[in-house]
């Protein structure tokens, strides 16, 4: 539409800004609005389309929001905490440089739970972010502001990241698409995050195609992140049919208590794929409740113990769930961490036995849609009981696309995860595109 002059980047940005102005007091998706600079970017993109459209870059004029983690020079990346962000960012995160180089119009920053430690979005610094479909329910976390903004029509694209489900959980709650790429696909700004194999930068959009377009811009090796993979991966604009694919289906990963509504909507996704020529078989995943301890001990040892030191003199300034997580981490021993590493191998073996026979695995993203917008003190237990996401941060080389699967009775979306073979983003987006074709999705009328 930009190229044919049916729409201009300025008009699109202004439409998003008007939506923000009307809905933001209720949704609270944004921690910062970058309006003047964004309008300048949009005007420059408009001029380029009018004078030299052949030179338009991949994201020329596309409004994009940054998760309050991805630094942009001059902004204050707070991580949702009063302990951070006093000084303005003095550099751009690699993902942000790539967005700017591709012509994206960055018009703000989205809310997160403090230090990204919850599957809901509430912090003492920025308040509660609510779900556009039902404001009594959480939008998910930690990329909750990004997902809520997308569902509410406040942006076209948004950045996200995922260390236990932080892309996929809000994507499910808000009915948007979110790609957790394979570990190492998208560079990190922080060396410690780069070295954490559970951590992934990723993308969110309102369609599979938008996620693919954005992923093509932000992925690829970067000198600042020694874990990034060579070469850069470029996904196609159109995806092949799923005809002939063999897809495994698990409704509970072997141990999660999943609601009947989520199960029914997951079955609808499976049938939509069968209707397009794929074989979808229900399978058993040989996992159990011990997977929860595996994740808790692995990530708690890596993140929790440093957090204890970081908040030691500031406990009264941080959110209740941060204190709870830090206190729980003090009981994790090196022996527990070592045992978790051994358990991850067992998890890998069980998943490999499935993917040796199938092209991909589909499962729900969340067990139900009942978490309130305000969340709770014990965010980690909430994740362990509701999420089917965190196992795939331990098995982090598997890319996953989160896609909507339907609506629950409270009006909140449910979602599925498409788990691909290691480093095979093409497969998960191919299956996601098929689901999108068969089960077209609309957003809430707000």
pLDDT at res. 410: 98
Asked about 268 being catalytic, the answer comes back as no
166 among known catalytic residues: yes
Domains in the chain (CATH in brackets) are: 9-284+351-438 (3.90.1300.10)
Taking only the tens place, the pLDDT of each residue in 223-234 is 999 999 999 999
Q: Work out the angle at residue 124's Cα, subtended by the Cα atoms of residues 24 and 375, and round it to the nearest 5 degrees.
A: 75
Q: What is the pLDDT of residue 390?
A: 98
pLDDT tens digits along 56-108: 999 999 999 999 999 999 999 999 999 999 999 999 999 999 999 999 999 99
Mean pLDDT of 161-181: 98
d(CA 338, CA 235): 37
Average pLDDT value over all residues in the chain: 97
| Residue 260: pLDDT band with limits 50, 70, 90 | very high
Tens-digit pLDDT profile for residues 403-422: 999 999 999 999 999 999 99
Q: Is the pLDDT of residue 178 over 90?
A: yes
Q: Say how many Å lie between the first and final Cα of the chain, rounded.
A: 24
DSSP state of 227: T
**Tell me: the pLDDT tens digits for 329-351?**
999 999 999 999 999 999 999 99
Please identify which of the residues 142, 161, 319, 405 carries the catalytic annotation.
Answer: 142
- Give me the helices (H) in 275-319, please: 290-299, 305-311
Q: How far is CA 12 from CA 35, 56, 155, 246, 304, in A?
A: 13, 16, 9, 40, 42
67 classed as catalytic: yes
Q: In Å, how far are 347, 395, 396, 409, 432 from 344, measured between CA atoms?
A: 5, 7, 11, 36, 27
Catalytic residue, candidates 8, 31, 67, 319: 67
Backbone angles phi, psi at 200, to 5 degrees: -140, 130
Alpha-carbon distance values, 116 to 137, 176, 289, 326, 418 (Å): 18, 19, 24, 13, 23
With a cut of 90, say whether residue 438 has pLDDT above it: yes
pLDDT of 305 reads 85
Q: Which of 166, 250, 259, 405 is catalytic?
A: 166
What are the tens digits of pLDDT across the range 286-324?
Answer: 999 999 999 999 999 999 989 999 999 999 999 999 999
Residue 161 pLDDT greater than 90, yes or no: yes
């Amino acid at each position: 539409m930009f190229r044919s002059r049916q729409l201009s980047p300025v008009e699109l940005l202004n439409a998003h800004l008007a939506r923000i102005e009307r809905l933001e007091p209720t949704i609270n998706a944004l921690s910062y609005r970058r309006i003047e600079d964004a309008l300048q970017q949009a005007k420059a993109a408009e001029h380029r389309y009018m004078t030299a459209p052949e030179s338009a870059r991949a994201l020329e004029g596309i409004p994009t929001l940054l998760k309050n983690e991805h630094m942009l020079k001059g902004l204050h990346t707070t991580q949702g905490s009063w302990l951070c962000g006093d000084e303005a960012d003095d550099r751009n995160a690699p993902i942000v440089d790539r967005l700017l180089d591709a012509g994206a119009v960055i018009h703000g920053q989205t809310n997160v739970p403090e230090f990204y430690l919850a599957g809901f979005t509430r912090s003492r610094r920025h308040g509660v972010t609510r779900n556009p479909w039902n404001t009594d329910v959480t939008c998910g976390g930690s990329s909750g502001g990004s997902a809520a903004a997308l569902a509410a029509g406040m942006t076209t694209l948004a950045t996200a990241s995922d260390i236990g489900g932080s892309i996929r959980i809000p994507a499910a709650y808000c009915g948007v698409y979110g790609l957790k790429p394979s570990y190492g696909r998208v560079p990190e700004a922080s060396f410690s995050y780069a070295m954490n194999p559970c951590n992934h930068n990723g993308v969110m959009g309102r369609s599979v195609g938008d996620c693919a377009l954005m992923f093509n811009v932000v992925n690829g090796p970067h000198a600042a992140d020694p874990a990034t993979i060579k070469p850069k991966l470029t996904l196609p604009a159109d995806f092949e049919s799923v005809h002939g694919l063999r897809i495994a289906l698990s409704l509970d990963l072997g141990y999660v208590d999943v609601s009947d509504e989520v199960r029914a909507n997951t079955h609808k996704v499976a049938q939509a794929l069968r209707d397009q020529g794929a074989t979808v078989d229900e399978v058993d995943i040989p996992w159990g409740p011990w997977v929860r301890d595996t994740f808790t001990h692995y990530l708690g040892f890596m993140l929790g113990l440093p957090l204890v030191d970081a908040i030691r003199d500031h406990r009264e300034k941080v959110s209740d769930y941060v204190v709870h997580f830090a206190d729980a981490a003090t009981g994790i021993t090196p022996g527990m961490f070592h045992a978790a590493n051994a358990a991850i191998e067992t998890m890998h073996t069980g998943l490999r036995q499935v993917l040796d026979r199938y092209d991909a695995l589909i499962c729900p993203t969340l067990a139900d849609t009942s978490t309130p917008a305000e969340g709770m003190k014990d965010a980690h237990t909430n994740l362990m009981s509701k999420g089917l996401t965190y196992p795939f941060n331990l098995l982090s080389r598997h890319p996953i696309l989160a896609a909507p699967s339907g609506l629950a009775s409270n009006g909140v979306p449910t979602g599925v995860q498409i788990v691909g073979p290691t480093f095979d983003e093409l497969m998960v987006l191919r299956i996601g595109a098929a689901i999108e074709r068969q089960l077209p999705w609309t957003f809430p009328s707000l």
